[in-house]
Structure 1
């Protein structure tokens, strides 16, 4: 399943999309912690993504 393509033009936009994806997965009961291999074929680089939960501070959004 793929979401509609969104043109990202900044790290802030990338962060917002990642935040939304992680929240959606968490709310669906998926354990989002751990490592994920993102294999992308020959036309794009491959990535290894590590997700860890961090302790909230008093100024957390």
Structure 2
């Protein structure tokens, strides 16, 4: 079994070429503020997220 389901790499390229957006189109639609930055250390990220959630829940008491 091949990774291209029996098609040559060039056949697969032409099949996907019409579906793949060009870099200009991607750049126009890219919004960096909507991206999540994944920390390399998951435990550290989880601790930061929990701390942020705690801060947000405590700030709602003052409103």
Tell me the TM-score normalized by structure 1: 0.34
Tell me the TM-score normalized by structure 2: 0.33
- Larger CA Rg, structure 1 vs 2: 2
| RCO comparison, higher one (Cα < 8 Å, 6+) | 1
